[in-house]
């Protein structure tokens, strides 16, 4: 999947898309691997290109999936905007992201 296929990037110029691609890294996460940790503000934003992840709630020592994230979902953006770590996200299958 190309980022130009995703809704947030549909109206961005080709030049801007090339700048994003040239300043980004392609990363892979395996099943169960943490993608965002609740106690750490990430230093990057991840954009899911392929695969799935789950946003997890940990209430009274019980983990629950709040929602599944897939192509076009951002990881880390909420924590950065809030300037407070708040996301617990793990890959629920092999997942490729743009960092």
Average pLDDT over the chain reads 91
Q: What pLDDT, on a 0 to 100 scale, did the predictor assign at position 1?
A: 66
Angle ∠(65,69,74) on CA atoms, nearest 5: 125
Distance of CA 10 to the CA centre of its chain: 18
Average pLDDT over residues 24-46: 94
Nearest of 14, 82, 58 to residue 90 by alpha carbon: 58
Has residue 59 got a pLDDT over 90? no
């Amino acid at each position: 999947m190309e980022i130009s296929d995703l809704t947030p990037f549909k109206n961005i110029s080709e030049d801007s898309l090339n700048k994003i691609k040239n300043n980004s890294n392609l990363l892979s996460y395996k099943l169960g691997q943490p993608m965002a940790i609740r106690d750490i503000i990430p230093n990057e934003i991840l954009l899911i290109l392929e695969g799935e992840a789950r946003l997890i709630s940990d209430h009274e020592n019980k983990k629950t999936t709040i929602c599944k994230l897939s192509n076009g979902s951002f990881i880390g953006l909420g924590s950065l905007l809030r300037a407070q770590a708040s996301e617990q996200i793990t890959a629920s299958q092999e997942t490729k992201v743009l960092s």
